[in-house]
Amino acid sequence: MTYAIAPHANACVPVAGTDMRFPVHRIYCIGRNYADHAHEMGSVVDRKNPIFFAKPADAIVTSNGDVPYPPMTNELHHEVEMIVALATGGRDIAVDDALEHVYAYGVGLDLTRRDLQLIAKSKGNPWDTAKGFDCSAPVSDLHRVRDIGHPDCIGLRLSVNGEMRQQTELGNMLFSVAEIIHELSRFYELKSGDLIFTGTPAGVALLNRGDHFHAELAGVATLEGRII
Query: Which residues sit at the interface with Mn ion, rule CB under 5 A?
Result: 79, 110, 200
Cβ of residue 150: shortest distance to Mn ion, in angstroms?
21
Residue 114 or 182: the one with the smaller Cβ distance to Mn ion is 114
Cβ of residue 108: shortest distance to Mn ion, in angstroms?
10
Residue 110 or 141: the one with the smaller Cβ distance to Mn ion is 110
Residue 55 or 144: the one with the smaller Cβ distance to Mn ion is 55
Do residues 211 and 160 lie in contact, with contact meaning Cβ atoms separated by under 8 Å?
A: yes
CA distances from 25 to 12, 49, 173 (A): 9, 25, 25
**Rounded CA separation 137/188 (Å):** 21
Do residues 11 and 25 lie in contact, with contact meaning Cβ atoms separated by under 8 Å?
A: no
Nearest to 108 by CA among 134, 137, 85, 143: 137
Q: CA angle, 206 as apex, 203 and 212 as ends, to 5°?
A: 95
Cβ of residue 20: shortest distance to Mn ion, in angstroms?
27
Cβ of residue 2: shortest distance to Mn ion, in angstroms?
40
Residue 89 or 199: the one with the smaller Cβ distance to Mn ion is 199
Nearest to 114 by CA among 171, 73, 83, 85: 73
Cβ of residue 33: shortest distance to Mn ion, in angstroms?
8
Residue 168 or 200: the one with the smaller Cβ distance to Mn ion is 200
Cβ of residue 81: shortest distance to Mn ion, in angstroms?
6
Do residues 15 and 104 lie in contact, with contact meaning Cβ atoms separated by under 8 Å?
A: yes
Residue 79 or 194: the one with the smaller Cβ distance to Mn ion is 79
Nearest residue to the partner Mn ion, using Cβ = 110
**Rounded CA separation 171/173 (Å):** 6
What is the b/e burial string over 84-105, where b = at least 16 CB atoms within 10 angstroms of the residue's CB? bbbeebbeebeeeebeebbbbb
Do residues 143 and 107 lie in contact, with contact meaning Cβ atoms separated by under 8 Å?
A: no
